[in-house]
Structure 1
Amino acid sequence: MASEVTYAEVKFQKASPAAEVKVPPKTKKCEHHPQKYPAWLPWLISLLLFLVCLALAIALLAASLCPGSDSGDQPTALQQRAMEWRCTSALPQSKGLGWRCCPRDWKLFQESCYYLSPDPLSWAESEQNCTGMGAHLVVINSKAEQNFLSKELQKFRKGENYYIGLKAQEQEEWHWVDQTPFNETAAFWRKGEPSHTYGEDCVVMHRLSEPPNNWNNVKCWSHHRICEAAAVTV
């Protein structure tokens, strides 16, 4: 028996060509070669940073000790003229500022500096001289201040009479140079003063009188003077 062979017709669809895959070109890897620095370079950088910090610290310290630098204001005439200063610790310390400074040859008391003149001038010239130094003729506000100045005058011994900033604009109408109201109960007249002599419109402290009452009204002629300015706090 002859075997039968069966044939089947098979149709194949034409296969689409395989999609072309683009392969990026190979890039050459960059080889990293660490840069070599001299062994002393980190030490040099550290030294430079230290010197910069040190310079800043010195600048800040100098600024803090410079009179008038703490407020950022322009220096006063007194600060511009004075070349040498003397500072005293201020206790209790306030706002981190612990020193009060006066120009050399000025006297410090509380928050003011005082200048006792070795030479005599008229009252108007005395006030002009004080103003030229960034000060004014002294304005006495308390018994403590009066006692301090009286003791300083007794040690100074350059003359008998020293102008203060008190003057009569009218007969016995006393006025302080800085417009502080005159308080009769806080005045320190000598016994029998003020006298009612015409023309005695200026006031001095009499060095030889027993403190605290040593004020005397005089004619505005040539006498020594006491200038006052605010102390510089640093």
Structure 2
Amino acid sequence: MNRRGRVSSGTAVVFLHGSYGQSKTLLQNATEWYCVSNISAGKQEGCVYCPKGWKHFQEKCYYLSADKMSWPESVQNCTGMMGSQLVVINSKEEQEFLFNLAKEVSTKAFETKFYIGLAASESGQWQWVDQTPYNKAATFWKPGEPNLLFAEKCAAIHVKGKRDPNTYSNWNNVLCFTSCYRICELTVKYV
């Protein structure tokens, strides 16, 4: 580890402590992991790590893709990136963070779409990719959404440019084969 708090090499190796005091080796296909100070009750307790190019918020690292894929391809792509998943949004604070992050990278297109880990089953029941229970009261759908549930079974955050004010009302259901960007999430690594 160098003085900037990052681990560098062709493959990053970080030693972590397991739940039974055993050391585990995290071997990932990433060139750099960055240290983010872990401050608890006003004292620094070491670092949490996110891969290079990922953004840290609370206990997660987030990756916003630069390319577009369908929803099933996005699920597979996120899972293949260090065991991450399409993002599961659990709070208003997380929604606000992700929406503002998406606004920073939004394209010049009228609307930029980012897949999240929410899709409807054949019966029309919404389901998160990690099986977190779907709570309609804790969602951020655009007014009138979700609609056309017989066809549009995958959810995405929609951003209308860098000045879009719709922080808490921007989810839309889309056709799952639509090419969209994606947001992957990964739990931070502690050292």
Shorter-chain TM range is 0.7 to 0.9
8 Å contact kept, 1:97–1:233:
no
Q: How far apart in 1 are the matches of 2:35 and 2:86?
A: 22
Q: 4+ residue stretches of structure 1 with deviation over 3 A?
A: none
8 Å contact kept, 1:115–1:228:
yes
CA RMSD of aligned residues (A): 2.1
- Structure 2 gap ranges (5+): 1-6, 8-12
Give the corresponding residue for 2:80: 132
Give the corresponding residue for 2:29: 81
Number of equivalent positions: 167
Q: How far apart in 1 are the matches of 2:24 and 2:41?
A: 21
Does 2:143 match 1:143?
A: no
Does 2:137 match 1:190?
A: no
Please tell me the residue identity of whatever aligns with 2:138.
A
Please tell me the residue identity of whatever aligns with 1:200.
E
Does 2:110 match 1:154?
A: no
Give the corresponding residue for 1:90: 38
| Alignment CA distance shift 1:124-1:213 (3 Å) | same
- Structure 1 gap ranges (5+): 1-61
Give the corresponding residue for 2:59: 111
From 121, 130, 155, the counterpart of 1:203: 155
Q: Counting helix residues as a fraction of each chain, which structure ranks higher?
A: 1
Does 2:185 match 1:233?
A: no
CA-to-partner distance for each residue in 1:172-229, whole Å, 9 max, x for gaps?
3100000111111100001111113531000000012511211000001211100001
Give the corresponding residue for 1:169: 121
Aligned residue for 2:14, secondary structure, equals: coil
8 Å contact kept, 1:135–1:229:
yes
Aligned residue for 1:124, secondary structure, equals: helix
Please tell me the residue identity of whatever aligns with 2:168.
P
Q: Counting strand residues as a fraction of each chain, which structure ranks higher?
A: 2
Aligned residue for 1:154, secondary structure, equals: helix
Q: How far apart in 2 are the matches of 1:170 and 1:198?
A: 8
Larger Rg: 1
Give the corresponding residue for 1:53: none
From 69, 73, 98, the counterpart of 2:16: 69
CA-to-partner distance for each residue in 1:98-133, whole Å, 9 max, x for gaps?
211100110100000000001000111101000101
Q: TM-score, normalised by structure 2?
A: 0.81
